[in-house]
Chains A and B, each alone.
Chain A
């Protein structure tokens, strides 16, 4: 009975609720695409990551501002990373949408391992390997919808337009 109720619920969502649900779906698509791009090989990384940002984006990495045009150079100097997203949450920003999809604030939390060797297996956590252990990271993004942007992160056989047209307009990344 509750099963049917869920589907009924979908049909009777108010517009605000629909906004919220859409926002969460967009967040899922974006998170997956974003960290897949971040974790790609150093040669490909800049080309995959930079398009996810809007040209006017304000980016900081551990307190250091990175201008949009310097992003490829910065990414080339970063060691290879492997992000493990453990939690994320996304709100549509109230007052940002009038007819158009709203801007979103997305907060991601997880652990990231750097270097070529990949994360150590859980059985070998040892203080002597400290420098190679994953760090906790927290990344907070503001996503703004861009109707001209090519959708990213669409599944291969998904419906057309199922990707995300959001682009990052603010990014704050920190090791925690």
Chain B
């Protein structure tokens, strides 16, 4: 039964005869036989998802864009003839259509009598039976007004014809996906003079269920369309109808409605009135160069070109009001810290210099001659290294070290394996067994050195000071006293952050290293080797590379020449209000005037700006200025911010 000729005969039999029950206003398109029944049957077969052994027809592609590409949705493209039916039955080998060498036509199994449409698979493309065709025709005919050449597809969900037949209208949830295509095809055949189409009141959030491709392919001559009172929110929903914007057709033919004169979108979220009205109109005009009436108001399509020169950004996607609403929902308050990130902390310069000196000796030895570190470690010390293997998110966002990053071309060669061995990574979130926790903590200098030697070779960029930062503290009394009743010993606690290049891969890693340093006892091996201190603890953490720019202290603030800014609570503070190093000086002052201002400041404790102002107002007469200042101050007329903060 499933041969092309038989299928065509089946469909022909299902065709309504030329005169049917519903009004058939004159129109040659209503006499299908005019086109030749065979052609119709063939076209019919392709109009539905069920390809009735349509192999023979596949080779004769119809014009006007009924290509297989759009047919029935991309979903069907993947199906081949060997697909089993729902009950597991395989289609008869002979039913495999010829010409499916293209693989795009999927031959369906045509069951005799057609399938009842009372239970369509939701969303699937189901073979459309003859009875469905009849119903759709009835439906279309009931909606057509010949004098106006208008097809009114309003409120399809509640259409009596469709609901009675148990059909779901296109655009309704659960309707078969090929329903719309079938509808437009029928409409084109029934009403070749159709120029006006209304799809209002259909609760459409997207126009895709209406199969815009088929709509514009079958009805390219539409001049007036209404999508009023739907839920369309994106300008690009109209792209498939536009001859100018949007994806081009696969067959290269013209797409969309090239004759569209009137468009009604009233009642859709995408419509903008008020200040954004122009943008909305421009978006519509961009898409339809032939448009003369938009939302029942005249429109000049040339605004699309004029606006392109003027307006800043045309948003091709969401309408602006929706975009701002979604943006507001996602808005995050900017993150503000109470204090800025500054350079290394030190309590006193000698401590800082001491640690700096130690590090200048330590890192080159670590790079080039690790055994030289042996005397630096205290006889009872602790050392371990651990790895934080998580990929820093910010580095990832900035694509640091990714493909093509010229600054870090070798990051991909880095491997954590050398660090994850028996000596190795003592990351206590991962290392849980006591034995390993014990073994990876080295407590004698020789064990420390052998552990260090097992690590890959490193090179610290010591000539670039900006790549390192260290905080130092002196910790008095941290160590137990060596003799009773003596105070505990002082140690230096230093935390270093930096980076190094690892060999042989030459990738860059970031590291943190915490040292606890004690003064080198006189006569000790450390002192003899030239080390200023001995290392009691060394905690070495190796991490994925992350940018140290965040450590750089903020640029020194410009001297406040204008009036002092009021302090904004919670904001990153600018310069402290204490006198910045280097005395400020207003422009154009002579040295004498400058010294008068400074004396005025000393006498009145005004800020420089106000002292200067006061003198200017009093003609640079210091005595008068001072007298007036005192008078004003007695009256409370001088604001508190005019004074220098009490240091």
Contacts and interface: CB of A to CB of B under 8 A. Distances in A.
A115 B437 contact: no
Given A74-B338, A95-B479, A115-B332, A135 B427 contact: no
A132 B338 CA distance: 17
Contacts of A125: 393, 396-397
B338 A78 contact: yes
A20 B438 contact: yes
Q: Which of B396, B434, B435, B536: most chain A Cβ within 10 A?
A: B434
A95 B437 CA distance: 20
B392 A111 contact: yes
A169 interface: yes
B167 interface: no
B441 A176 contact: no
Contacts of A20: 437-438, 441
A16 B536 CA distance: 15
Interface string A122-141: 00011101111111101010
B437 A63 contact: no
A116 B332 contact: yes
Nearest to B476: A56
B322 interface: no
Contact of A114 (B335, B430, B438, B537): B335
Given A28-B428, A60-B471, A110-B388, A96 B479 contact: yes
Nearest to A27: B428
Contacts of A110: 388, 390
Interface string B483-512: 000000100010101000000000000101
B551 A174 contact: yes
B427 A61 contact: no
Contact-residue bracket for chain A: 35 or more
Given A136-B392, A142-B475, A91 B539 contact: yes
A74 B378 CA distance: 38
B537 A105 contact: yes
> Which of A58, A89, A116 is most buried by chain B, counting CB atoms within 10 A of its CB?
A89
A33 interface: no
Contacts of A117: 332
B443 A86 contact: no
Interface in B302-345: 332-345
B543 interface: yes
A109 B541 contact: yes
A67 interface: no
B471 A63 contact: yes
Nearest to A138: B512
A126 B396 CA distance: 8
Interface string B373-393: 000001011101011111011
B373 to A, nearest CB: 17
Contacts of B475: 58, 142, 169-170
Contacts of A58: 473, 475
A132 B332 contact: yes
* Highest count of chain A CB atoms <10 Å: which of B333, B433, B473: B473
B337 A79 contact: yes
B550 interface: yes
B357 to A, nearest CB: 20
A130 B386 contact: no
Interface string B604-629: 00000000000000000000000000
A91 B384 contact: yes
A67 B400 CA distance: 37
Nearest to A17: B438
B394 A133 contact: yes
A93 interface: yes
Nearest to A141: B514
Contacts of A132: 332, 335
B429 interface: yes
A85 B455 CA distance: 24
Contacts of A88: 386, 427-429
B397 A127 contact: yes
B428 A90 contact: yes
A9 interface: yes
A90 B539 CA distance: 8
Contact of A87 (B342, B427, B473, B497): B427
Contacts of B495: 107, 138, 140, 172, 174
Given A87-B429, A175-B341, A92 B480 contact: no
B439 to A, nearest CB: 10
B384 A176 contact: no
B548 interface: yes
A103 to B, nearest CB: 6
A173 B380 CA distance: 27
Contacts of A85: 429
B38 to A, nearest CB: 54
Interface in B549-581: 550-551, 553, 569-570
A134 B430 CA distance: 22
Contact of B543 (A77, A97, A136, A175): A136
Contact of B397 (A61, A114, A130): A130
A135 B338 contact: no
A89 B382 contact: no
Contact of A97 (B427, B430, B480, B512): B480
Contacts of B543: 87, 109, 136, 138, 176
A94 B429 contact: no
B516 interface: yes
B546 interface: yes
Interface string A156-172: 00000000000001101
Nearest to B441: A20
A40 interface: no
A171 B601 CA distance: 41
B473 to A, nearest CB: 5
B420 interface: no
A93 B390 contact: no
Choose among A6, A61, A134, A136 the residue with the greatest number of B CB atoms under 10 Å from its CB.
A136
A98 interface: yes
Given A86-B388, A105-B537, A172 B471 contact: yes
B478 interface: yes
B92 interface: no
A174 B471 contact: yes
B342 A86 contact: no
A64 interface: yes
Contact of A176 (B342, B479, B480, B550): B550
B387 to A, nearest CB: 7
Contacts of B407: none
Interface string B331-368: 01111111111111100000000000000000000000
A94 B534 CA distance: 12
A107 B336 contact: no
Nearest to B398: A127
Given A77-B338, A105-B514, A172-B345, 13 more contacts: A17-B438, A20-B437, A24-B437, A86-B429, A88-B428, A89-B384, A94-B536, A97-B480, A107-B495, A110-B388, A111-B393, A115-B332, A133-B394
9 contacts: A62-B340, A63-B343, A63-B469, A91-B441, A116-B332, A116-B333, A135-B394, A172-B471, A172-B495
